[in-house]
């Protein structure tokens, strides 16, 4: 069912939520006080509006209360995030979700009535830690804060499938650089050769993409 969302603050977090909701077919109003940010999401939002989220009367004028869901994705400017959340609750927006920068920010957002609070950086850090300690991940090398090379155990799910079938690059943005099969390492794996449960797949990519690959493909 199509829903209506408004997102205030189009930093990295706000923009990625905006794109995701829009791709899922929802109506998304993108709000930022910086026109450049709004121009960047044109094509991924139903409407864009240049409004300061701390200006209560401006929020009222654009009819923000007609949105069932409003997401406050202002991050760095904690004062603006708090003020904006407060106005939205005062204007009776039913569901106000807000991004918290730290635990103090979280506490204040909770006190003023935010209905759900996110910690995207912390959550992603925890999820990556969880991924790196997964039983399927045999070993890894961190290339940077974002990129790793990971050795992942192939499960029954991939038994008989080829690298082409897995479509790793297009679906996950990762690259398989080697396959360890029966103790032998093949550094130029043929994309048409089948993989078997128990093989070790050596993949390079962004940690988030590697996590998605491990969770969904293997």
Contact residues: ligand ADP, CB under 6 A: 8-14, 32-34, 37, 52-54, 73-77, 80
Torsion of CA 151, 155, 161, 164, to 10 degrees: -30
Residue 121 Cβ vs ligand ADP, minimum distance, rounded to whole Å = 8
| Residue number with CB closer to ligand ADP (10 or 203) | 10
Give the count of alpha carbons within 13 A of 191, CB side only. 9
| Residue number with CB closer to ligand ADP (13 or 131) | 13
Residue 49 Cβ vs ligand ADP, minimum distance, rounded to whole Å = 10
| Residue number with CB closer to ligand ADP (11 or 194) | 11
For residue 127, the surrounding DSSP H or E stretch is: helix 120-132
Residue 209 Cβ vs ligand ADP, minimum distance, rounded to whole Å = 19
Residue 115 Cβ vs ligand ADP, minimum distance, rounded to whole Å = 19
CA dihedral for 73, 77, 78, 80, sign (positive or negative): negative
| Residue number with CB closer to ligand ADP (14 or 205) | 14
Residue 138 Cα distances to 134, 154, 155, 218, angstroms: 8, 11, 13, 13
Q: How far is CA 101 from the centre of its chain?
A: 16
Residue nearest to ligand ADP (CB): 11
């Amino acid at each position: 069912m199509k829903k209506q969302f408004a997102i205030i603050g189009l930093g990295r977090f706000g923009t990625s939520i905006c794109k995701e909701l829009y791709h899922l077919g929802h109506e998304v109003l993108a709000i930022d006080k910086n026109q450049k940010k709004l121009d960047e999401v044109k094509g991924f939002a139903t409407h864009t509006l240049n409004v300061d989220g701390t200006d209560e009367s401006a929020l009222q004028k654009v009819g923000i209360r007609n949105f069932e869901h409003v997401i406050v994705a202002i991050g760095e400017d904690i004062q603006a995030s708090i003020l904006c959340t407060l106005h939205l609750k005062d204007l009776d927006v039913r569901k106000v979700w807000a991004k918290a920068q730290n635990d103090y920010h979280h506490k204040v957002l909770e006190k003023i009535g935010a209905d759900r609070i996110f910690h995207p950086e912390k959550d992603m850090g925890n999820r990556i830690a969880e991924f790196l300690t997964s039983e399927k991940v045999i070993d890894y090398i961190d290339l940077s804060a974002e990129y790793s090379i990971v050795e992942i155990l192939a499960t029954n799910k991939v038994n008989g499938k080829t690298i082409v079938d897995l479509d790793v690059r297009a679906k996950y943005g990762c690259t398989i650089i080697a396959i360890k099969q029966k103790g032998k390492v093949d550094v130029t794996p043929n994309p048409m050769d089948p993989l078997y449960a128990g093989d070790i797949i050596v993949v390079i990519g962004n940690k988030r993409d590697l996590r998605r690959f491990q969770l969904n493909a293997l």
